[in-house]
Chains A and B, each alone.
Chain A
Amino acid sequence: MRFMVMVKATQDSENGVMPSEELLSAMGRYNEELAKAGVMLAGEGLQPSSKGARVRFSGASRSVIDGPFAETKELVAGYWIWQCKSLDEAIEWVKRCPNPMPGDSEIEIRQVFEAEDFGEEFTPELREQEERIRAQIEGQ
């Protein structure tokens, strides 16, 4: 099964404070370990939310809100996609991660939905549509 593992933002990451060289090399070693175990499929760091935007939906209308966003602890500063045997294995891997931020920080683990998980509710037409949309997004 696949997991998205998200490093939560902090005041530092939102302020664009770059990680220390020590943290960078520790993270590099950790990423190497993940890759050597055949666990890591993908992963990236994200720019502060000041360089992002949100689109809010209300019925048929859409409004754009420019970053930065206030609720720092709910923001994501980076993510990985992992292939693990279980949530427990993903948890054990996260425990081995160096603290990704200078101060207190949090990493959230979420299991990726696979089309099969939707079961009967997800009709072939819906499924096909969802996959097509994703294909377009990822094909860009």
Chain B
Amino acid sequence: MPAASHSDLQRTIDAVWRIEAPRLIAGLTRMVRDVGLAEDLAQDALVVALEKWPQSGVPDNPGAWLMATAKHRAIDLFRRGETLQAKQEQIARELELDLTDGVSADPTADAAAAAQAGDDLLGLIFMCCHPVLALEARVALTLRLLGGLTSDEIARAFLTPRATVQQRIVRAKRTLAAARVPFELPAGEQLAERLPAVLGVIYLVFNEGYSATAGSDWTRPELCEDALRLGRMLAELMPRESEVHGLAALMELQASRLRARRGPDGQPVLLNDQDRSRWDLLLIGRGLRALDRAEVLTGGALGPYALQAAIAACHARARVPADTDWERIVALYDALAALTGSPVVELNRAVAVAMAFGPAAGLELVDALADESALAGYHLLPAVRADLLERLGRREEAYAELTRAAGMTDNEQERLLMLERAAGLAKREER
């Protein structure tokens, strides 16, 4: 290898780590049966690499090198233990056996190794999103172990102090160990039960990037990319699960609008005002294909993510807002509302009804939601009401609702947009 400068090598090692860390930690977790220990071992291997690679150069197969180094550390650790338990001795022996297997040139062995690596990654995903963990802990652990993000990056993404994120991760690992959560890929009914939690974590990360709930930026595209990467990964690892493709489709389609969703000064641009020529056609194509797969796999009733993706697809297919098939969107929201019973979905359905059948029909549905406790404090309820009132010519009421909505959002850019619209209403009122 040609002599590389120190910073070149550091960047190479960072890139190797980003690629290899998830597989490394997943494989080690299966072998040592403890995710905390697995991450420590992987980190130890990285430290050894940082010491050795400047002299020896980056090995041809850095992933295998890191894995072998981590396994040696594990064997040392187990054997050095004062009170060597039978179970630890057994793990150490398995690790040794694994090391002597080495790399084979046999393609069927390669395929088997790839399948094992895929199962390991899935096992790790399901562990990180295990229901014994709080939601924030699942998110932090998933981004750290599968997304390859540092605690610093996670902290910045969620505007949380780094110490809090670190503590969350440490506690999560402890909780998993204390609850003796097994490293396994759930099957059958258990899979159906546990999959929504995994999809929920990935979608939460995506949404935090897509419309940040707090802070001065309206969107954080990097976080969307992290979530998309996880979603695409999952779709490859679980190709027969309709909802996995549904989530991938939903994220691809929504991400296709990211650059049109943000004005030159970072302010939000709403769907109907977006310059649709700025939508990303590569992502739209990927999203529509993923939705097709989701539809083929269910052979009928779509799950909640696929339904949302189908709604997003209606928008993606319309080159101008007037082409939007709002009646189909209403039908999709009907199915989604029946499935989820969520008042937020009902609110969205009301918007679609207003678009398909006029603002009065929409307002009737929105007013029926006024007492819904789950929507108390939800800024989009008065925002939607304001929009419909405005279209019905009831400007004074619309102004009051917009002002109320502005006071309810924590996103600075969104608040400004609402106040601006309210000011516009007041101005027209004066004329």
Which of A5-13, A50-58, A62-70, A130-138 has 4 or more CB atoms under 8 Å from chain B?
A130-138
Interface members, chain A 24-61 (any B CB < 8 Å):
25, 29, 32-33, 35-39, 41-42
Give bound CA distance, A128 to B277, whole Å: 7
Assess the B281–A134 pair: CB atoms within 8 A.
Answer: yes
Assess the B14–A88 pair: CB atoms within 8 A.
Answer: yes
A111 within 8 A of B: no
Assess the B114–A35 pair: CB atoms within 8 A.
Answer: no
Majority SS of interface residues in chain B? helix
Q: Using A36-B233, A37-B233 as known contacts, say yes or no to A139 and B281 having CB atoms under 8 A apart.
A: yes
Give bound CA distance, A38 to B247, whole Å: 14
Interface members, chain B 28-64 (any A CB < 8 Å):
none
What are the 10 tightest A-B residue pairs by CB atom distance, in nearest-first order? A38-B229, A38-B232, A88-B15, A131-B277, A38-B233, A138-B281, A89-B15, A92-B15, A36-B236, A88-B11
**Minimum Cβ distance to chain A for residue B187 (Å):** 20
Interface members, chain B 110-169 (any A CB < 8 Å):
110-111, 114, 118, 121
A/B interface sample: 22 pairs, CB < 8 A = A29-B107, A29-B114, A36-B118, A36-B121, A36-B233, A36-B237, A38-B229, A38-B232, A38-B233, A38-B236, A39-B229, A41-B282, A81-B282, A83-B229, A85-B15, A86-B15, A89-B18, A92-B12, A92-B16, A116-B259, A124-B264, A127-B278
A17 within 8 A of B: no
Assess the A92–B107 pair: CB atoms within 8 A.
Answer: no
Give bound CA distance, A132 to B260, whole Å: 13
Name 11 extra pairs, CB < 8 A, besides A89-B18, A116-B259.
A29-B110, A32-B236, A35-B232, A37-B229, A38-B231, A41-B283, A81-B282, A85-B18, A92-B15, A128-B275, A135-B277
B230 within 8 A of A: yes
Q: Given A32, A41, A86, which contacts B11 in the complex, CB threshold below 8 Å?
A: A86
Assess the A29–B281 pair: CB atoms within 8 A.
Answer: no
Write out the residue numbers on chain A whose beta carbons fall within 8 Å of the beta carbon of B237: 36
B244 within 8 A of A: no
Write out the residue numbers on chain A whose beta carbons fall within 8 Å of the beta carbon of B241: none
Give bound CA distance, A92 to B114, whole Å: 18
B225 within 8 A of A: yes
A93 within 8 A of B: yes
Write out the residue numbers on chain B whose beta carbons fall within 8 Å of the beta carbon of A86: 11, 14-15
Write out the residue numbers on chain B whose beta carbons fall within 8 Å of the beta carbon of A124: 264
**Minimum Cβ distance to chain B for residue A121 (Å):** 14
B286 within 8 A of A: yes
Q: Using A29-B114, A36-B233 as known contacts, say yes or no to A41 and B286 having CB atoms under 8 A apart.
A: yes
Q: Using A38-B230, A41-B286, A92-B12 as known contacts, say yes or no to A135 and B19 having CB atoms under 8 A apart.
A: no
Write out the residue numbers on chain A whose beta carbons fall within 8 Å of the beta carbon of B225: 83
Majority SS of interface residues in chain A? helix
**Minimum Cβ distance to chain A for residue B157 (Å):** 14
**Minimum Cβ distance to chain A for residue B386 (Å):** 29
**Minimum Cβ distance to chain B for residue A12 (Å):** 23
B294 within 8 A of A: no
Nearest residue (CB) in B for A35 is B236
Interface residues on A, range: 20 to 34
Write out the residue numbers on chain B whose beta carbons fall within 8 Å of the beta carbon of A139: 281
Write out the residue numbers on chain A whose beta carbons fall within 8 Å of the beta carbon of B12: 88, 91-92
Write out the residue numbers on chain B whose beta carbons fall within 8 Å of the beta carbon of A85: 15, 18
**Minimum Cβ distance to chain A for residue B77 (Å):** 29
Write out the residue numbers on chain B whose beta carbons fall within 8 Å of the beta carbon of A81: 282
**Minimum Cβ distance to chain A for residue B272 (Å):** 17
Give bound CA distance, A130 to B263, whole Å: 18
B332 within 8 A of A: no
**Minimum Cβ distance to chain B for residue A55 (Å):** 24
Give bound CA distance, A99 to B92, whole Å: 37
Nearest residue (CB) in A for B231 is A38
Nearest residue (CB) in B for A131 is B277
Give bound CA distance, A135 to B275, whole Å: 12
Assess the A25–B107 pair: CB atoms within 8 A.
Answer: yes
Q: Using A37-B233, A115-B259, A128-B275 as known contacts, say yes or no to A93 and B19 having CB atoms under 8 A apart.
A: yes
Interface centre among A32, A93, A127, A131, by most chain B C-beta atoms within 10 angstroms, is A131
Q: Using A38-B229, A38-B232 as known contacts, say yes or no to A138 and B19 having CB atoms under 8 A apart.
A: no
Give bound CA distance, A94 to B16, whole Å: 12
Nearest residue (CB) in B for A39 is B229
B228 within 8 A of A: yes
Give bound CA distance, A134 to B232, whole Å: 25
Nearest residue (CB) in B for A127 is B278
Q: Using A29-B110, A35-B232, A132-B277 as known contacts, say yes or no to A138 and B282 having CB atoms under 8 A apart.
A: yes
Give bound CA distance, A25 to B283, whole Å: 27
